[in-house]
A and B are shown apart, each in its own frame.
Chain A
Amino acid sequence: MSGYKETARQESCFRPGSTLCPGCMESVAFQNIGRVTDNGVKTIFTIGTSCAEVSTLAFPNVVAWGRGDDSPDDFAKSFSILHNVFESAPTLAEATRDVADQLTSIGALDRKIQVISASGDGGAFSIGLRTLLHTIHRRARVTIVVLVNEIFANTGFQYSPATMPFADTSTTPAEGTPGNLNPPLDYIHLAIAAGAGMVAQLSPAHGKMFVKAIERSLEVEGTAVIFIPAPCISGWKFEDGQTVELALLGARSGVFPAFTWERGKGGTVKDCPQDASERPNITEFLGEQRRFGHLVGKDKVTGEVKVKPGQEENMEKLTAWVQSNVDRMYSLAAMK
């Protein structure tokens, strides 16, 4: 199976009925991961505490998972999901993989199992950095997805180590301060350094690439890690219907460039030229979000996004950070 339209026709294991916000990118990601994994292999998801967990697994009303409308007769269509605390999704996935492999090597399990771990950036990069890096380090044959919305959305939109510079969060309030001053953790580099077999940064906004990356992640040797930039309508504070658009703008303007990499083969940055003049201006991305409302404003008549008076220096710093981010992605792509 491959191709965008073909994927659209697959059955997803992520069902409607979640209590995620309208337009949540995590939801879009799960829909598509769910479709790609409808490939005749039984899927087991492990999930860390996050919006995705509390909004999809709340007994007795909501378990927004499972393939088909009813429990499937076909074992390959069956589905399981396991949650335990904030940070442990990669470890749970690794354990699941090991038990399946061990049973298979004994001859007690002859059906294939694919295992996917899902966490948010708060869970993966703060409290869960240990588990993330060590599961990668042990080369566990699992796919790890990290939904990066740059905040702890579930607990109230606090700063996370993936928060971009100058963003207003509930713990870096842009009131008398310029917002977050800490540049984000270099998580892509960390995943490569820890020994990942495949690393990608892609959101479903890059439909075909995203689908192909998830497919590939199920096949590669070692651990596949996919960071999914996930615009958060409630935390980034933008208008309805802009989720996919912002995911594209953020990627194209250099905040989270589309990136795929495989050990031994190297990688590519797509849809995000290294030369800033060939990219959309970063202000287009910022202007749609109220978390940057202290930095830029939209002209009511022309719709043009302008830097607010007094914020020129911060804007320069932010622009410089974006360029360094793009340069870094190109240098990572050159690694093998």
Chain B
Amino acid sequence: MKVLDPRSILEDGVLEVRGDGKAGGGLVLAFQSLASLFSSLPNTHVQEWPFFSSARRGANIRSFLRVSAKPIDVGCEVTRPVLTLLMDEAAARSADFAEGVPHGGTYVINTRRTPEECAKHFHLSGRVLTVPGDDIGTKHLKHPIGNVSAYVAMTEAIGGLPMDEVVGIFLAQLKKRRIPEALIERNRDAMNATKVSIQSGIFDEARAGDHASTRFEGYGDLPIGAQTRLRLAQNNKTSSYARSGFRLVFADPANACTGCSHCIVNCPEGIITWEPDAERGVRVTGAEVNTFCKLCGECIEICPEKLFTEGKYEEVWDDTHAEEVTK
């Protein structure tokens, strides 16, 4: 396997980059900062754009970037990126972040896990860089947001970019967005911390057919005028909109639920489960956490008995149960 070097690609032709993340997770800022960074270099051309669906905060989004030493004419989507970013592990549940990446490509992943674990889990062949961006965010920015680290790791993956410029461009982007000065300085610390936290390795774990680009096989039977059946939403498991690393936890060991029904009535998703109760009318038994809960926190705030809390959550990759919630 020949490892494709992003730096030499952008000097000879067009370097194509793609990122997967969730709306509200800072992916767009990371890509805009990368674009600004390259724009600031002499004789470097960029093309950068995000793709959103109609989905809101927490839904999957994609960002694209092209960088070249020559003017960029190509106008179609990036489908075979040499460099790809997985900004949020949860985004990989509904999109293949490595789709179409050629053998020997570079993969940047915001995760606590090691490059080797990632290469095995996602079947990656090429250079894998990991960075625990959410932890760095929590430590320096008091918020588990990994875009600062993802951005730095991307510049590391491309190589040849001086760190003071990498930092300066990002902070300038924050200033444009009217972020307070104190917070901007904490971002500087987060970037410096990222630099020493990046791990990387070269692996060849992709099997034949992995990450093949999906071929267009027609639109299928389209209902006239897009008139559809109802309840299709049940395929849309919106629990992946929840902030990564957290899940709603319900516990009522003392049978304290008063049956006030506030959580039921105020749950935006209507997913509080309950059973009829002779005394209280209803007794709440939990919520459909693994399917639809976006972790908005309304039930946590509204329950007079404080029966709902936010728990830490980590997906277990090598387990058939695949999910585990720890308090």
Instruction: Using CB atoms and an 8 Å cutoff, list the residues of chain A in contact with chain B.
Output: 4-5, 7-9, 12, 14-25, 27-28, 31-32, 34-35, 51, 54-56, 58-66, 69-71, 79, 81, 175, 204-205, 207, 233-234, 240-245
Contact = CB atoms under 8 A, between A and B. Distances in A.
Nearest to B297: A241
8 contacts: A16-B288, A17-B237, A19-B55, A21-B58, A22-B294, A28-B266, A31-B268, A244-B301
Taking each of B24, B241, B268, B298, which has the highest tally of chain A beta carbons within 10 Å of its own beta carbon?
B268
Interface of B: 24, 53-59, 178, 223, 226, 228-238, 241-242, 259, 261-262, 264-271, 274, 276, 281-282, 288, 291-292, 294-298, 300-302
A234 B231 contact: no
Top 3 A-B residue pairs of the complex, sorted by shortest distance between their CB atoms: A17-B233, A241-B297, A66-B230
Nearest to B264: A8
A22 B268 contact: yes
A245 to B, nearest CB: 6
Given A9-B281, A58-B55, A204-B265, 4 more contacts: A15-B230, A22-B242, A24-B296, A59-B223
Nearest to A24: B268
A9 B55 CA distance: 29
B230 to A, nearest CB: 3
Contact of B235 (A22, A61, A204, A234): A61
A240 B53 contact: no
A234 B301 contact: no
B233 A15 contact: yes
Contacts of B54: 19, 54-55, 58
B238 A63 contact: no
A240 B296 contact: yes
Q: Is the interface of B mostly helix, strand, loop or mixed?
A: loop
Contacts of A244: 266, 298, 301-302
Contact of B57 (A15, A22, A62, A71): A22
A4 to B, nearest CB: 6
A19 B238 contact: yes
Contacts of B24: 234
A204 B261 CA distance: 13
Contacts of B232: 17, 59-63
B268 A65 contact: no
A58 B271 CA distance: 21
Nearest to B280: A5
Contacts of B276: 9
A22 to B, nearest CB: 4
B296 A175 contact: no
Contact of A17 (B234, B242, B261, B296): B234
B233 A61 contact: yes
A20 B264 CA distance: 18
Given A17-B238, A64-B233, A241-B296, A23 B268 contact: yes
A56 B230 CA distance: 10
Contacts of B229: 63, 71
Contacts of A9: 274, 276, 281-282
Contacts of A241: 296-298, 300-301
Contact of B241 (A15, A22, A35): A22
Contacts of A18: 233, 236, 238, 269
Nearest to B232: A63
Nearest to B242: A22
Contacts of A59: 223, 226, 228, 232
A15 B259 CA distance: 22
A16 B269 contact: yes
B298 A243 contact: yes
A69 B270 contact: no
A31 B265 CA distance: 8
B233 A63 contact: yes
A168 to B, nearest CB: 10
Contacts of B282: 5, 8-9
Contacts of A5: 259, 261, 281-282
Nearest to B220: A60
Nearest to A79: B230
Contacts of B268: 20, 22-25, 27-28, 31, 243
B235 A17 contact: yes
Nearest to A53: B54
A289 B139 CA distance: 24
Contacts of B297: 22-23, 240-241
A16 B270 contact: yes
A51 B282 CA distance: 32
B54 to A, nearest CB: 4
B230 A245 contact: no
A9 B226 CA distance: 33
Contacts of A32: 265
Taking each of B55, B269, B276, which has the highest tally of chain A beta carbons within 10 Å of its own beta carbon?
B269
A276 B26 CA distance: 41
A15 B56 contact: no
A52 to B, nearest CB: 11
B204 to A, nearest CB: 35
A28 B262 CA distance: 11
Nearest to A29: B268
A207 B264 CA distance: 11
B56 A51 contact: yes
A62 B236 contact: yes
B231 A66 contact: yes
B236 A22 contact: no
B267 A28 contact: yes
Nearest to A78: B230
A19 B59 contact: yes
B291 A16 contact: yes
Contact of B301 (A21, A58, A64, A245): A245
A31 B276 CA distance: 19
A247 to B, nearest CB: 10
A71 B234 CA distance: 13
A10 to B, nearest CB: 10
